[in-house]
Amino acid sequence: MRTQSLKFDSIVETIYSLPLEDRMEIKNLLEHNIADSRRNEIADNFIKSQEEHLAGQLKFSSKISVLKKML
């Protein structure tokens, strides 16, 4: 864990030392990467929920008391 922290600190220091334009480009790259990762996660969850639905593993209700019990 300590080694990862040192690597992270080193990366952060390196980024901070870059010119503003490069830092802005890194920011944009990270934002797009995070959005892509989140979209993939949502897609994976959707596929998983479809599989669970087809397997009859999902239960539905519109009653709050029933929903609370499902949790």
Write the pLDDT tens digit of every residue in 1-52: 677 777 999 999 999 999 999 999 999 999 999 999 999 999 999 999 999 9
Predicted pLDDT of residue 66: 81
Predicted pLDDT of residue 60: 80
The residues spanned by each domain of the chain are 2-70
Predicted pLDDT of residue 1: 62
Predicted pLDDT of residue 48: 95
Q: Which residue has the higher pLDDT, 71 or 43?
A: 43
Predicted pLDDT of residue 38: 98
Would you tell me how many other CB atoms lie within 10 Å of the CB of residue 23?
A: 13
Full 3-state SS string of the chain: CHHHHHHHHHHHHHHHHCCHHHHHHHHHHHHHHHHHHHHHHHHHHHHHHHHHHHCCCCCCCCCHHHHHHHC
